[in-house]
Amino acid sequence: EEAAGKDLFQGTIGQAPRGWPVLGAVVNNFIRGGQAVKDSCNTAVTFHAGKILALMEQCRPSEISVSQNGDIRTVKALSDLEGAIPFDPLTGGALSAHSRIDAATGEKIAVSYATGGPGQGPPTARHDVWSADGSLAHSATVALPAPIMIHDLAITQSRSILFDLPLTVRIEKAFLDRFLVEYEKDTPARLGLLPRYGTPDQVQWFDVQAG
């Protein structure tokens, strides 16, 4: 937008509670900006392995720098962190806005979700572990029964706690002029325990009652 000298993107989440304006915004963004949603990176900021990352869970992070007088500069927009974030045809790739850093080991752990939109396949949660030097040490993609939004995670010394809760993102609702995100009280809720370097089949699931 800075290079073009004008606005290119339209907002999507701000179109709630309707769905048709969301579809219109996504089409506009693809045509004018080349991606479904703007790389707003306005949810959280994290520091790991010498990099400051501005984050928003629907897109890849932006690497930024902050000077001593407080000036902020974009070092690299839409960063895939040296290939650690897989490409997605809908979003371009995404990284959770809320990761956790193990203070004892320096590892960073994040869980990012894909809701199964066009080109994404079935709904999944991607569990990534970065070593203290910033390199991707392990990644496991866990299949999910429903297209849920995963906003956070928790960690222990050896495991991650995955949140499979009934806040869903169903793209097909937009075609009926309904908003994509909805709390579905009849969708089962679970917590999963995954060893930090575990495989998808090692997740232990525990049914819980959503509030």
Structure tokens at 148: 């849920």
Using an 8 Å Cβ cutoff, are 177 and 159 in contact? no
Backbone φ and ψ for 201, nearest 5 degrees, come out as -75, -5
Residue 195 has a pLDDT of: 98
Residue 174's nearest CA partner among 124, 117, 121, 120 is 117
Residue 30's nearest CA partner among 91, 87, 103, 76 is 91
| Chain Cα centroid distance, residue 153 | 12
Buried b / exposed e over 124-157, threshold 16 CB at 10 Å, is bbbbbbbeeebeebbebbbebebbbbbeebebee
Structure tokens at 116: 């199964």
Residue 30 has a pLDDT of: 84
pTM here? 0.88
Structure tokens at 95: 């990284």
Residue 89 has a pLDDT of: 72
Backbone φ and ψ for 198, nearest 5 degrees, come out as -85, 170
Residue 182's nearest CA partner among 172, 171, 169, 173 is 169
Write down the number of H helices and E strands in the chain: 1, 14
Tens of pLDDT along the chain (211 residues) come to 778 888 888 888 777 789 999 889 889 988 988 877 776 788 999 999 999 999 988 889 999 999 999 999 999 988 999 999 998 877 778 899 999 999 999 999 999 999 887 667 899 999 999 999 999 999 999 999 999 999 899 999 999 999 999 999 998 898 999 998 999 999 999 999 999 999 999 999 999 998 7
Residues pairing with 139 in the sheet: 128
Residue 88 has a pLDDT of: 81
Residue 122's nearest CA partner among 93, 96, 143 is 143
Residue 142 has a pLDDT of: 97
Using an 8 Å Cβ cutoff, are 61 and 108 in contact? no
Residue 161 has a pLDDT of: 98
